[in-house]
């Protein structure tokens, strides 16, 4: 299990550094990606495998986000692009805001999107997700930005109607759509090679600086109503989890790359 984030007043992102010195480090996420400052590079093809198999997926309220997991031995895998090895899917989760004008963690040209999906993968050579946390190339996270619109996204049909069943912290359900993982992790292969990539961290304590971020340029969409469903879950302090994004962190000289497509 990865460490869990905290958003209560007593532990807002600005005080995470009191307990977790790594949160004050120089390779923190999220960041503002300024397109005029990115360096274009030709990476090899980013490859997905086991994505289109059917996967039984479970959805949990862990008190900090809505998390979707699969315990399938044939978990989705990624390789290629900016990563040299094979990484194994562990979980995906969402970050959102108090209203539709904010909620994403990474920004593009200082623009916030309404939601961000993080699909977390650990390096297979390290044997387990726990062991991978001890290595600076332990994780790769795919980031998808979502813009709120009037149109509902069918991908969320199997998700949002069941969020009322997981409002309590620790509750979980089985998702009644075995292709939900593939639809969320690889929504559109046509634009899967169009991404920004940079070295960063978990966006929650302990903010470990072990992540190769791959942020897709093409935003996805979600309706206002679908997004509102996420804001009803309870957080660990008993209040509604209305927002759970970390503000942007200094780039501190890091280079953000864009794949040349």
Q: Looking at the annotation, which residues are catalytic?
A: 64
φ and ψ at residue 164, rounded to 5 degrees: -60, -20
Structure tokens at 168: 């309590």
* Interaction partner, residue 236 (ligand GRE, Zn ion, none; CB < 5-8 Å by kind): none
Residue 123 contacts ligand GRE per CB under 6 A:
no
> Minimum distance from CB of 92 to Zn ion (Å)?
9
Interacting residue ranges for Zn ion, rule: CB under 5 A = 118
Structure tokens at 216: 């897709």
Task: Look at the alpha carbons of 179, 45, 147, 15 in this order and tell me if their dihedral is positive or negative.
Answer: positive
* Interaction partner, residue 70 (ligand GRE, Zn ion, none; CB < 5-8 Å by kind): none
Residue from 119, 120, 148, 248 touching ligand GRE (CB under 6 A): that is: 120
Q: Give kind and range of the element (H or E) at residue 185.
A: helix 180-185
Nearer to Zn ion, 55 or 118 (CB): 118
Nearer to ligand GRE, 139 or 256 (CB): 139
Nearer to Zn ion, 52 or 132 (CB): 132
Q: Which residues of 154-170 are buried (b: 16+ CB within 10 A; e: fewer)?
A: ebbebbbeebeebeebe
Show the DSSP H helices in 42-144 as ranges: 129-132
- Rounded Cα distance, 50 and 127, in Å: 18
Structure tokens at 145: 């930005």
> Minimum distance from CB of 209 to ligand GRE (Å)?
11
How many chain residues are in contact with ligand GRE, going by CB under 6 A? 10
Residue 104 contacts ligand GRE per CB under 6 A:
no
Nearest partner of 246 among 102, 91, 72, 120, judged by Cα? 102
Residue 83 contacts ligand GRE per CB under 6 A:
no
Nearer to ligand GRE, 40 or 144 (CB): 144
* Interaction partner, residue 5 (ligand GRE, Zn ion, none; CB < 5-8 Å by kind): ligand GRE
* Interaction partner, residue 120 (ligand GRE, Zn ion, none; CB < 5-8 Å by kind): ligand GRE
Binding mask of the shown chain, residues 190 to 209, with x at each position contacting ligand GRE by CB under 6 A: ------------xxx-----
- Rounded Cα distance, 242 and 228, in Å: 9
Count the neighbouring beta carbons within 10 Å of the beta carbon of residue 17: 15
> Minimum distance from CB of 139 to ligand GRE (Å)?
6
> Minimum distance from CB of 184 to ligand GRE (Å)?
15
Instruction: Name 33's Cβ contacts closer than 8 Å, sequence gap at least 6.
Output: 106, 107, 108, 109, 196, 198, 215, 256
Nearer to ligand GRE, 14 or 40 (CB): 14
Nearer to ligand GRE, 15 or 45 (CB): 15
- Rounded Cα distance, 66 and 63, in Å: 8
Instruction: Answer for the pair 123, 137: CB distance below 8 angstroms, yes or no.
Output: yes
Residue 155 contacts ligand GRE per CB under 6 A:
no
What does the binding site for ligand GRE look like in residue numbers (CB under 6 A)? 2, 5, 118, 120, 139, 141, 202-204, 211
């Amino acid at each position: 299990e990865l460490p869990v984030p905290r958003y209560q007043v007593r532990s807002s992102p600005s005080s995470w550094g009191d307990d977790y010195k790594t949160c004050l480090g120089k390779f923190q996420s999220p960041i503002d990606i300024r397109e005029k400052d990115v360096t274009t590079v030709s990476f090899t093809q980013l490859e997905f495998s086991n994505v289109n198999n059917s996967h039984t997926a479970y959805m949990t309220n862990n008190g900090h986000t809505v998390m979707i997991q699969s315990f399938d031995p044939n978990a989705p895998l990624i390789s290629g692009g900016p990563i040299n090895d094979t990484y194994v899917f562990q979980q995906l989760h969402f970050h959102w805001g108090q209203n539709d004008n904010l909620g994403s963690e990474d920004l593009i040209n200082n623009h916030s999107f309404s939601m961000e999906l993080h699909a977390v993968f650990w390096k297979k050579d390290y044997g387990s997700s726990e062991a991978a946390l001890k290595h600076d190339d332990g994780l790769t996270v795919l980031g998808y930005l979502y813009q709120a619109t009037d149109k509902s996204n069918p991908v969320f049909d199997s998700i949002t109607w069941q969020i009322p069943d997981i409002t309590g912290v620790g509750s979980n359900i089985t998702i009644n759509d075995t292709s939900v993982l593939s639809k969320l992790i690889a929504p559109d292969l046509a634009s899967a090679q169009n991404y920004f990539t940079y070295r960063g961290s978990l966006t929650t304590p302990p903010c470990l600086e072990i992540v190769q971020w791959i942020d897709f340029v093409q935003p996805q969409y979600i309706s206002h109503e679908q997004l509102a469903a996420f804001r009803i879950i309870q957080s660990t302090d008993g209040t509604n989890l209305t927002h759970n994004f970390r503000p942007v962190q200094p780039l501190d000289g890091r280079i953000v790359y864009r794949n040349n497509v």
